[in-house]
Structure 1
Amino acid sequence: MARTFALVAAAAAFFGHAQSQCTAAPSQTYDYIVIGSGAGGLVIADKLSESGASVLLLEKGPLSSGKWNGTMKASWLQNTNLTRFDVPGLFNQIWVDSAGVACDDTGVMAGCVLGGGVAVNSALYWKPHSSDWDVNFPTGWKSTDMQKHVDNVFQRIPSNYIPSKDGKLYLQQGFDRVTKGLDTAGFKYVVANDAPNEKNRTYAHATFYIQNGERHGPLRSYLETAMARPKFNLWVNTGARRVVRTGGHITGVELECKNNAGRSGTVNVTPGTGRVIVSAGTMGSAKLLFRSGIGPTDQLNVVKSSPIDGSTMISQDQWINLPVGNNLNDHVGTDIQISHPDIVFYDFYGAWGSPIKADTDAYLQKRSGILAQVAPNLGPIFWTAHNGSDGITRHIQWQARIEGRTKTAMTITQYLGMGTTSRGRADITPQLNMRVATNPYLRTTQDKEAVIAGLDYVRSALNNVQGLTWITPTSSQTTTAFVNSIPATPASRGSNHWTGTCTIGSDDGRTGGKAVVDLDTKVYGTDNLFVVDASIFPGMTTGNPSGAIFAVAERAAERILALKAPAPKLIRGATRDM
């Protein structure tokens, strides 16, 4: 108990909880500055601080979890240490009330609070399929390289498919009806994280990083151990405008005070040996590089011409031309809806402002009941794989949830993932907002073939369920016509599992390759700037990517710590600051 109190007290000090206005960054320098406190940033900041180095973690958003002094909560959570981010049953509230939570500069949904996406997503959590590494990633990042990191992640953050502390699963009628059809079609039930490679014709309960009825994840593991170290610091409400660099050497980070409560000015790394790690997410990391003069010339010219950064942007002779923003990827989402008279809908949206007292009592007193389950009652999750005419196997994760057009409806989303060949592009506007410039959905014939084949297969399986009726597609509509009727846009197809804008690889993007970072996650053309988050993924994962991102951050920390400090040299014709 005393240890917990000490951590909370330390959190208040680190977060500058009493700040009510912007304050200037101190003159102290740091061995590592990590930009972004999401899935990548939290993990790598902890692993770097574990080495004894001084680490500063920057988050441009406010506090989230009650564990770390967050304050955003429903009225029935007053006088508790819980916020909206801690209670699984309040997850869906993000879609109707995202003010002060969602990023306002990305063009797509992203979390801009402490924890980033892991504070606002559904907390679904899977061990990666070996093909996620072996098909997608380069040498040094294959499944044999990654297994120890996956094992460590799942030891630090256990997975759980029965989130309620009383050991019960609630309102499982939808799960039961759908799996009857899957059973008849020959699907096999698995405990998903006991069998990570069994992702074809299998199904499972939804699996989460929820412990003791509350959202867990890196906020309740990696951040806790980092916060206990004296040389670790965290600043919230503090954005990174750009890195400060001469040629390829970064000396610090220029800050943007947010919410009238963060830090401003410039914070510097340890002279000669300090490093900066960008972990701001697929959109945010690309934006930071653009504003720092790193990216395609057309995008850097947008920044140069902008009224915000134009007059202070790094000079054009020091630009580093890399394919930042290319290779944009996302799970291709296709929603189908079914109905069955046995399905029971629960109003999770109503649980915010007018909850059922018996349910809030069960949750507050015992961390049990329906509110310990993630809204809107997810499951089953199931998987199929389809061999394309191009010889590529494409993996699909199917995610069912109890919501739709009627009170007896279920929506099942098909996520086309690992093996997809379609890619898009993200770019930056003159207002310095990120956007999806080229949609990454179904741009190749074989990707669309997999979507159609997968839907045909599942439609056939679910037709075996007595009493089940189809809402979309209608029973008389062909799958091809249904797929073609849905626009290939983020609004209609998006899953918010964005990856790829700062791709890892050995093919240097400055000389015609596709990679933005090398095999140590270091940005090509620099000696001490790294990117560690989903933006470096070359291809899409089989399912929700959180588990893979955590493991990537652990692997990146290992490789970065093994690197020698940069030696004085000329980079791109510019003398390095020392």
Structure 2
Amino acid sequence: MLIMSTKIYFLVAVLATASFLSLASAASVASYDYIIVGGGACGLALANRLSENIRYSVLVIERGGFVLENPLVYDTTAYGAAFGTPIDYAYKSSPQTYMGDKVETLGAGKALGGTTTINGMSYTRAEAVQIDAWQRIGNWGWTWESLVPYYKKNEDFQVPTPAQYSAGANYNPLYHGKAGPLLVGWTYDMQNSTVHTELKRTYEHLGIPYLPDVNGGKMHGYSMFARTVNRAENVREDAARAYYYPVASTPNLAVMLNTSGNRIIWANQTGTFGPAVASGVEVTLRDGTIETITATKEVILSAGSLISPAILEQSGVGNPAVLAKHSIPLVVNLTTVGENLQDQINTELIYGSNVSYIGQGTYLGDPTASDLFGSNTTNVANEVKKNLADYAAQVSAASNGRDYERRHLALPLPGPVGHHFRESHPHRRDPRHAPGQQLPHRPTINPNYMMLGWDMQQQIGSGKFIRNLFNTAPMSEYTTGESTPGYNTLPADATDDQWASWINSASRANFHLVGTAAMMPRDMGGVVDTNLMVYGTANVRVVDASVFPFQVCGHLMSTLYAVAERAADIIKGENYVGLFVRRLYGMSKDALEMWLGYADEVEMGILLFICVTYWITVLSIIFYSHVR
């Protein structure tokens, strides 16, 4: 055991040394092929994959620091302990009008690894229909089927042990990958199997089926989900542990910690000679020094749904009216930057227990609308449909008309609602903007929680369902009564108004922010295209949760990794032949962009050979016809 511990600490020392060597080289080199702003899930996954090609130099700019040995990060039982500490941005919302002017705190990781260093480590993918909806609104090729290979590519799934099986862990081998960098599984200290059995039977009594594995594209049911953990070492598997530390000594990969990415520097402005071309990034170092680092190929924003759009706005990409108000010169007119913000609200019912449970439980129940509203489901659905136009108008008005009504009218009706007692599909769409000429790390945030009636209906329905769950055998036999909110606060026959009042006072933000640089057609309010390139620019991409056009009911993290893996393949594809073929052979961008995500180097070479051969033949015919 002593030998194993020594080996682990030696590895930590090596990785730490490699990290600081990268920092030193980053400070001394003024130019990189790719500059990635943000060292979270997407930023580090991209950096890892792009640096696989030794010809390209990659720099990651991260405002946080090095937290490999921070127990608030690596301890798998310490969820929540890092909130409000120096490694949590703890952003504050503006007073929430529809929740009694409450100011919500929105957690986000300020560290190498981003929010994966402080989140709940849940590994639950989106529903298939939710990803398929991305294509239905115009993102050709972005479907569940096309994203599954990337879900698997990032994953190194740890098969449950016999003891973990008996405690409720289960999986379908067809759903998971084994060769990726990200360890996914369960820790050894799972709760005893009694809890799983009780919950499973209780859910089944309520008509909710048992779901062995939640990651197959359908979430309806009760299951025990896996987490991003290293079972052997019993530590959190954050993005840095998975994607950075193992390759930290790679000579073409550098990281600048405690460094803020302020704005993009442009070689030209849109309309001068075509799209705006980024030439670098302005940064602020830890000591306050401001420097510019050159990007010879691309600038990629992976700073999250709050900061990526703020950096775009500080760089002159956004709504002219917003930018003019803060004297920011306009580079690209893109009115929906920072709009479409979506987050969920999280509420909790707490019950006392007459037995002791030891260990960690990862139980998840996903009921449908029919499970929540029963015989009243049709009436609820009809009410939502009837109000969609009004909801869209409210959202459009809240965003000063920049968020198009037709986009909201096209939204699919919500699917499952999370067991964590949160709305899985908020209908509201809200603004988030950078505050004037300040650096973009304290944006103005107004999620407008509970602005629309359906948002509250989901929460009320979920609350009633959970109360019923704990009053249903066999779970009811193991509880000693409800402590939060308790029947004195919220009676058994409470009205919806009473439920709404309690939910507004007891809820908190869920920190699953998406949508502020949405991937969708530009005329629908999109900020990036299907290659994640910012409209009106030639070499600026956004790769993080801000590009998700809709909220998903699974945890964001697994889908973030998958999107980053796919983005890396898109970029690699364009490096080899994509742009050349588009110009030389005349292939349409739409026809090419999906293929680029899948073609390997051999396929690229074959296509290039065909194209070159074709044009040599054409030019030869033209030449000889003129000679004759």
TM range (shorter): 0.7 to 0.9
Higher share in helix: 2
Q: Is the partner of 2:123 in helix, strand or coil?
A: coil
Higher share in strand: 1
- State the TM-score, normalizing by the size of structure 1: 0.75
5 and 456 in structure 1: CA distance in 2 versus 1, 3 angstrom threshold = closer
26 and 114 in structure 1: CA distance in 2 versus 1, 3 angstrom threshold = same
Measure how far apart 1:185 and its partner are.
Answer: 1.9
**For structure 2, which runs of at least 5 residues remain unmatched after alignment?**
1-6, 94-104, 156-176, 270-275, 371-380, 386-411, 584-628
Higher alpha-carbon deviation: 289-298 or 178-187:
178-187
Q: Is the partner of 1:240 in helix, strand or coil?
A: strand
84 and 337 in structure 1: CA distance in 2 versus 1, 3 angstrom threshold = closer
Matched AA of 1:63: F
Matched, 1:265 2:277: no
Which of 20, 29, 33 aligns to 2:35? It is 33
CA RMSD of aligned residues (A): 3.1
Equivalences for 1:406-445 in 2 at 5 Å?
Answer: 413-417=420-424, 419-430=425-436, 431=438, 432=440, 434-435=442-443, 437-445=445-453
Counterpart of 2:346 in structure 1 is 333
Separation in 2 of the partners of 1:8 and 1:433?
A: 27
Counterpart of 1:221 in structure 2 is 242
7 and 113 in structure 1: CA distance in 2 versus 1, 3 angstrom threshold = closer
Indicate conservation of the 8 Å contact 2:187/2:231, yes or no: yes
Counterpart of 1:15 in structure 2 is 23
Higher alpha-carbon deviation: 449-458 or 137-146:
449-458
Counterpart of 1:49 in structure 2 is 51
Indicate conservation of the 8 Å contact 2:182/2:242, yes or no: no
378 and 479 in structure 1: CA distance in 2 versus 1, 3 angstrom threshold = farther
- State the TM-score, normalizing by the size of structure 2: 0.69
Separation in 1 of the partners of 2:554 and 2:58?
A: 32
Higher alpha-carbon deviation: 231-240 or 218-227:
218-227
495 and 253 in structure 1: CA distance in 2 versus 1, 3 angstrom threshold = same
459 and 393 in structure 1: CA distance in 2 versus 1, 3 angstrom threshold = farther
Indicate conservation of the 8 Å contact 2:211/2:221, yes or no: no
Indicate conservation of the 8 Å contact 1:329/1:423, yes or no: yes
Which of 108, 115, 119 aligns to 1:121? It is 119
Indicate conservation of the 8 Å contact 1:48/1:55, yes or no: yes
Measure how far apart 1:481 and its partner are.
Answer: 3.0
Counterpart of 2:133 in structure 1 is 135
Matched AA of 2:292: T
Instruction: Determine which structure has more spread, i.e. the larger CA radius of gyration.
Output: 2
Q: Is the partner of 1:441 in helix, strand or coil?
A: coil
Counterpart of 1:163 in structure 2 is 187
Matched AA of 1:201: G
Counterpart of 2:368 in structure 1 is 385
Measure how far apart 1:300 and its partner are.
Answer: 1.6
Separation in 1 of the partners of 2:307 and 2:496?
A: 36
Measure how far apart 1:442 and its partner are.
Answer: 3.6
Matched, 1:547 2:568: no
Matched AA of 1:300: L
Indicate conservation of the 8 Å contact 1:487/1:493, yes or no: no
Which of 221, 231, 243 aligns to 1:211? It is 231
Measure how far apart 1:111 and its partner are.
Answer: 1.1
Matched AA of 1:202: Y
Matched, 1:102 2:124: no
Q: Is the partner of 2:364 in helix, strand or coil?
A: strand
Separation in 2 of the partners of 1:28 and 1:186?
A: 61
Indicate conservation of the 8 Å contact 1:386/1:454, yes or no: no
33 and 326 in structure 1: CA distance in 2 versus 1, 3 angstrom threshold = same
Could you tell me the percent identity over the aligned residues? 22
Equivalences for 1:165-204 in 2 at 5 Å?
Answer: 168-170=189-191, 178-193=199-214, 195-204=215-224
Indicate conservation of the 8 Å contact 2:460/2:499, yes or no: yes
Q: Is the partner of 2:77 in helix, strand or coil?
A: helix
Counterpart of 2:573 in structure 1 is 562
Measure how far apart 1:301 and its partner are.
Answer: 3.1
37 and 393 in structure 1: CA distance in 2 versus 1, 3 angstrom threshold = same
Indicate conservation of the 8 Å contact 1:473/1:479, yes or no: no
**For structure 1, which runs of at least 5 residues remain unmatched after alignment?**
18-23, 67-72, 74-82, 305-312, 347-369, 371-376, 400-412, 569-578
Separation in 1 of the partners of 2:495 and 2:187?
A: 36
Q: Is the partner of 2:82 in helix, strand or coil?
A: helix
The one-character-per-residue Cα deviations of 1:205-249 (angstroms, maximum 9, x if unpaired) are 553434321111432222135424221111101111101012111
Indicate conservation of the 8 Å contact 1:323/1:502, yes or no: yes
Counterpart of 1:503 in structure 2 is 518
Q: Is the partner of 2:261 in helix, strand or coil?
A: strand
220 and 191 in structure 1: CA distance in 2 versus 1, 3 angstrom threshold = farther
Measure how far apart 1:158 and its partner are.
Answer: 5.3
Matched, 1:84 2:85: no
Between the two proteins, the alignment pairs up a number of residues equal to 478
Measure how far apart 1:182 and its partner are.
Answer: 1.8
Separation in 1 of the partners of 2:451 and 2:362?
A: 29
Separation in 2 of the partners of 1:177 and 1:481?
A: 32
Measure how far apart 1:333 and its partner are.
Answer: 2.0
Separation in 2 of the partners of 1:209 and 1:521?
A: 29
Matched AA of 2:462: G
Matched AA of 2:256: W
62 and 278 in structure 1: CA distance in 2 versus 1, 3 angstrom threshold = same
Separation in 2 of the partners of 1:171 and 1:94?
A: 27
